[in-house]
């Protein structure tokens, strides 16, 4: 009779896996904070303080300052939501949708001048959405309890 044995995991053999998992958590948290800072400071702030470059861009599109402020608020809210655990799964999805819109705008109004930027930002947002997908179930449970 042949006998099969499963490898026995000891604390020493699982230490590298635990170290990799910890490193991955730190990397994802760092990415989350960097994206939150980007959306809150570099992207939303110029719109919310009506920086001349933002005003000029929205005037070029003919959208006016109201839309500029709305998009700034959405970006700021998305950046903050990235840092809220229960919203950390849905926030990257919402920001990805905003970036898809930004890509269309760049292609339509600015001849694709900065069209790569929103596409590049979608990649880490997709990674965060995938890794935080379980928090979406937590959010749904929370909303069902309140309904």
One-character DSSP codes across the chain: -----PPPP-HHHHHHHHHHHHHHHHHHHHHHHHHHHIIIIIIIHHHHTT-HHHHHHHHHHT-HHHHHHHHHHHHHHHHHHTTSGGGTTHHHHHHHHHHHHHHHHHHHHSTTTTTHHHHHHHHHHHHHHHHTTHHHHHHHHHHHHH-
Q: How deeply is 115 buried, as exposed, middle or buried, from its count of CB atoms within 10 A (0-12, 13-18, 19+)?
A: middle
In tens, the pLDDT along 98-111 reads 999 999 999 999 99
Q: Name every residue whose Cβ is closer than 8 Å to that of residue 2 and which is 6 or more positions away in sequence.
A: none
Residue bearing the bigger pLDDT, 8 or 142: 142
Largest CA distance in the chain: 80
pLDDT, tens digit, 9 for 90 and up, residues 89-147: 999 999 999 999 999 999 999 999 999 999 999 999 999 999 999 999 899 999 999 88
Cβ distance 95 to 78 under 8 Å?
yes
At 66-93, the pLDDT tens digits run 999 999 999 999 999 999 999 999 999 9
Tokens linked to 34: 């960097």
Q: Give the range among 14-18, 51-55, 85-89, 107-111 with minimum mean pLDDT.
A: 14-18
pLDDT exceeds cutoff 60 at 11: no
Token look-up 């958590």 returns 25
CB 68 within 8 A of CB 55: yes
Whole-structure pTM value: 0.85
Tracing tokens 């790569």 back to the chain, one arrives at 116
């Amino acid at each position: 009779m042949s006998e099969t044995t499963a490898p026995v995991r000891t604390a020493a053999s699982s230490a590298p896996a635990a170290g990799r998992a910890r490193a991955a958590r730190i990397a994802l948290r760092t990415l989350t904070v960097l994206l939150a800072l980007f959306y809150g400071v570099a992207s939303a702030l110029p719109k919310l303080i009506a920086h001349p470059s933002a005003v000029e861009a929205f005037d070029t599109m003919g959208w006016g300052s109201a839309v500029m402020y709305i998009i700034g608020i959405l970006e700021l809210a998305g950046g903050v939501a990235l840092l809220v655990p229960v919203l950390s799964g849905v926030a990257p999805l919402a920001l990805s949708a905003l970036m898809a819109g930004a890509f269309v705008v760049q292609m339509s109004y600015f001849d694709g001048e900065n069209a790569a930027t929103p596409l590049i930002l979608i990649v880490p947002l997709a990674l965060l959405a995938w890794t935080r997908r379980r928090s979406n179930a937590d959010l749904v449970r929370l909303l069902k309890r309140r309904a």
